[in-house]
Amino acid sequence: MALKSTNPTKTESWSKLQSHFNSIKDKHLKDLFSGNPNRANQLTIEWEDFLVDFSKNRIATETIDYLIELANEVDLKDAIKKYFQGDIINATEGRAVLHTALRTKQDSKVLVNGENVVPGIFAVKQKIKDFTEAVINGTHKGYTGKAITDIVNIGIGGSDLGPAMVVDSLQFYKNHLTTHFVSNVDGDHHKEIIKNLNPETTLFVIVSKTFTTQETLSNANSIRAWFLEALPTEAVSKHFVAVSTNIGSVKAFGIDENNIFPMKDWVGGRFSLWSSVGLSISLALGYQNFEDLLKGAQKMDEHFRATDFKKNIPVIAALLTVWYNNFFKAESEAIIPYTQYLNQFATYLQQGIMESNGKSVDRSGKRVDYQTGTLIWGEPGTNSQHAFFQLIHQGTKLIPTDFIGFVKSLHGNTEHHDKLMSNYFAQTEALMNGKTEDEVLAELNSQGLDETEINKLLPFKIFEGNKPTTSVLINKLTPESLGKLIAMYEHKIFVEGIIWNIYSYDQFGVELGKQLAKTILNELDDSSVKHNHDASTQHLIDFYRKNK
Ligand code: F6P
């Protein structure tokens, strides 16, 4: 069944939220804490190896109740049921949205058009496992009999960002294979990667759900041409495998049927790392680690599906995004992991969140008259503290920020880890408390400055504080905990989309530019081809053509 369509701003709970917002918008977090000694406890959720502290958000305890009323009024419960049971909730593409089925237990049943898809999922997982193990233990050899040493994932968007982020994030658990990712159609990108590779010991994994994506097919073709300079055509079957829904086009490309790892159209590209798109993850980390990643996501699915909204991590996180986006009019959110391993996490989430919820037409086809998807950005701490934190602390914009940290370091260097985490805790505290005029005065006085100097510096040194943060504290970065974390954001995206009454699982917005690029490409190749462009675009094309 289809998702319901309710304009959230026309609900009763929205009006209540609006008046509640007016009454608390100027309250300082410091006062909210001093007025309620239980606040940290009440607004913290502990689940498995996760602690999520929502208490440093600009909410009163009853704000959550009002937000949950909104969730109930748009029938979030019903939407969650439809999401998990395989209803066609991606209505504009006529598809179910079932990345959750990819990590479900073997004995469960998920019906798509009356067919249980779980046995098929497990057959593909078995194929991933067998192939992965053969490559890792060296029984799958290259054409000249040498073991594989390098894996090159050729894909873009969801066919790159997920595997690349997970492999990088879990590099601590990596095996001897070296993994590379080629995504951009920029020819220098793939050349830089293949220039030091030996075709005899390299496995290329071409990943494209549609197998029509210009970047991926161009890179795959160029890399295959480079490969065939060294080895004969019959070597391709030992060195090229593909992941796709488009089996016909993969075969036409010259990939053996046996070397195709299928996926289904009910897996969205940006949610596909759990499918055979995760083949590079399994190769890089070993199948068991891939399974553990899926297991973590499955646990988060259960938490999301079965937990009361008040204690439901993705639900509360999403409701807070709505709160800031639609009531405080915040435009962006920062995601700051306090581990260098999660260096690519915000980039990965940018696609997940912005491709999903960057929509301006509601589920009944009308233009929305309220804000939807937020801008997502971030970099690991402490590096980001030395880059853009100034703006979060003292700029004019309100930027709700997620802090993600781990209790244990992987290499066990507690001295560094304590320093890292002291920064995490200090930043959330500083963002909340700020520094008052009196505190700045006391500090400047203690530095022995005279009155003129103090008055000159005073306004610049005040931090107003009251900057909202959510602290996610996880025991340790493992495949399982990363699976939970990714799934947490996936469900947050879903809930936001339900509240905003938009379709989160299509991406028509990326099509127009792709179509125009094809037209322009013909003009760059052949100056006799002319299309109608505006004066600016035509001038740029002419300049490029003349000077290339
Ligand atoms: O950028 C648009 C998009 O369709 C993404 O949604 C997708 O992840 C990416 O392109 C790659 O698509 P494909 O896997 O079909 O090559």
Which residue has its alpha carbon closest to ligand 1 atom 16? Answer: 208
pLDDT of the residue at 525: 81
- Give me the average pLDDT of each 10-residue run along the chain (548 residues): 95 98 98 97 98 98 97 98 96 97 97 95 98 98 98 98 98 98 97 97 98 97 98 97 97 94 97 98 98 98 98 98 98 98 98 98 98 98 98 98 98 97 98 97 96 96 97 98 99 98 97 90 84 93 92
Which atom belonging to ligand 1 lies closest to the Cα atom of 269? 8
The residue nearest atom 3 of ligand 1, judged by CA position, is: 157
Q: For residue 355, which atom of ligand 1 is closest to its CA?
A: 6
Reduced 3-state DSSP string for 342-368: HCCHHHHHHHHHHHHHCCCECCCCCEC
State whether residue 398 is helix, strand or coil: coil
Ligand 1 center from residue 349 Cα (angstroms): 15
Q: Is 213 in the pocket of ligand 1 (CB under 6 A)?
A: yes
The reported pLDDT for the residue numbered 324 is 98
| Ligand 1 pocket check for 208: Cβ under 6 Å | yes
Q: How far apart are CA 115 and CA 113, in angstroms?
A: 6
Does the complex come out with an ipTM higher than 0.95? yes
Alpha helices in 74-213 (DSSP H): 76-85, 118-136, 161-169, 187-194
How big is the CA angle at 365 (ends 364 and 367), to the nearest 5 degrees? 115
**DSSP symbols for 15-76:** HHHHHHHHHHTT--HHHHHHT-TTHHHHTEEEETTEEEE-TTSS--HHHHHHHHHHHHHTTH
- DSSP-assigned letter for residue 229: T
pTM: 0.98
CA 65 to chain centre: 28
Active site residues: 355, 386, 514
At residue 441, the pLDDT reads: 96
Q: State whether the beta carbon of 263 lies less than 6 angstroms from ligand 1.
A: no
Q: Determine which residue's CA is closest to atom 2 belonging to ligand 1.
A: 510
Cβ of residue 159 lying under 6 Å from some atom of ligand 1:
yes
**From ligand 1's centre to the CA of 213, what distance in Å?**
7
Rounded distance between C-alpha atoms, residue 104 and residue 101, angstroms = 5
Residue nearest to atom 9 of ligand 1 (CA): 157
- Could you tell me what percentage of the chain is helix, strand and coil, using 3-state DSSP and rounding each to the nearest 5? 55, 10, 35
Contact 276, 125 (CB under 8 A): no
266 CA distance to ligand 1 middle (Å)? 14
Task: Compute the distance from residue 339 Cα to the ligand 1 centre, in Å.
Answer: 28
Strands 50-53 and 469-474: antiparallel
What spacing in Å lies between the alpha carbon of 156 and ligand 1's midpoint? 6
The answer to whether the Cα torsion of 164, 166, 172, 174 is positive or negative is negative
Q: What is the pLDDT of residue 530?
A: 79
Regarding the beta carbon of 210 and ligand 1, being less than 6 Å apart is answered: yes
Q: Which atom of ligand 1 is nearest to the CA of 507?
A: 6
Please state, in angstroms and as integers, the Cα–Cα distance from residue 157 to each residue in 105, 213, 273, 301, 359, following that order: 28, 10, 11, 24, 18
Residue type at 8 in one-letter notation: P
What is the reported pLDDT for 44? 98
